[in-house]
Amino acid sequence: MANETKIAIVTGGSRGLGRSTVLNLARSGVSSVFTYHSNSAEAEKVVALAREEGATAIALPLDTGDVSGFAAFIEAVKAALATLGAERFDYLVNNAGTSHHNAIATTTAEELDGLYNIHFKGVFLLTQALLPLMNDGGRIVNISSGLTRFSFPGSAAYAAMKGAIEVLTRYLARELGERGIAANTVAPGAIATDFSGGMVRDNPEVNRMVADNTALGRAGEPEDIGPMIAALLSPANRWVNGQRIEVSGGMLL
């Protein structure tokens, strides 16, 4: 039987956009099982902050770029769901990711493999592994990037992986519709997080460049994204499916 409290699985929920997503879902009464890669201290902070919002968040370690760990992760998810009194979950947010900056001329095969493992293979196979645990009528949000629409030199490999995720998302929507599951892509503009060594947040020139190229006149903040994802997952947006939704304040329109 479906659990009354909705449950989300959010990868990379310990920092940045994933953290904002977990906390805004908590504000909406949604519990989360979220992942971190190596920084358990930040993950524990999110657990405590979600509790302050009156929701339960459970942190699990996961390297989304290493599929050999997925079987054990699924068992850990089942155990986490059991502590929430559930056997299944409702929302999957594939958010975890790392940055990459290199020109096409100098990008190596190893760099490409690393990006592929985290940004495509991991998302594809983790979604596949989790689908048997997702309730019919569930929702998937995959995080892409504004860089699939506009281009900056040095972002080719990263952006191409994100482009692949946008195509995958449409196919997820197509194939999972029969289970009532909708899938959408959220494509953030440049957001001031730890991403890229905190470049958008901490490098004044980059921050100014982003602001100058954004219709709303500033770089994005995590709180520009998490509430939007929580809203997209709410019943009010139940008919949005197979879409790429850019959330950038109007960057490079």
Longest dimension (CA), the chain: 54
Quick one: which of 113, 250, 122 has its CA closest to 190?
250
Number of residues that bind ligand NDP (CB under 6 A): 31
The DSSP string of 82-139 is HHTT-S-EEEEEE---------TTT--HHHHHHHHIIIIIHHHHHHHHHGGGEEEEEE
Q: Read off the amino acid at residue 34.
A: F
Catalytic residue numbers? 158
Q: Does 17 bind ligand NDP (CB under 6 A)?
A: yes
7-10 sheet: strands from edge to edge: 57-61, 31-36, 7-10, 89-94, 134-143, 182-188, 244-247
Query: Shortest gap between Cβ of 106 and ligand NDP (angstroms)?
Result: 21
Taking CB positions, which residue lies at the least distance from ligand NDP? 16
CB of 233 to ligand NDP, least distance (A): 16
Name beta bridge partners: 125: none
Only segment of 38-46, 73-81, 103-111, 175-183 that touches ligand NDP (CB under 6 A)? 38-46
Question: Of 2-10, 15-23, 128-136, 174-182, which part binds ligand NDP (CB under 6 A)?
Answer: 15-23
Nearest approach in angstroms of CB 193 to ligand NDP is 3
Q: Which residues contact 209 (CB under 8 A, 6 or more apart)?
A: none
Among 10, 143, 183, 230, binds ligand NDP (CB under 6 A): 143
CB 191 within 8 A of CB 211: no
| Phi, psi torsion values for 56, nearest 5 degrees | -95, 130
In whole angstroms, the minimum distance from the beta carbon of 130 to ligand NDP comes to 14
Question: Between residue 194 and residue 253, which ones bind ligand NDP under the rule CB under 6 A?
Answer: 194-195, 200
Enumerate residues 45-84 that contact ligand NDP by CB under 6 A: 62-65
List interacting residues with ligand NDP (CB under 6 A).
11-12, 14-18, 35-39, 42, 62-65, 95-98, 118, 143, 145, 188, 190-191, 193-195, 200
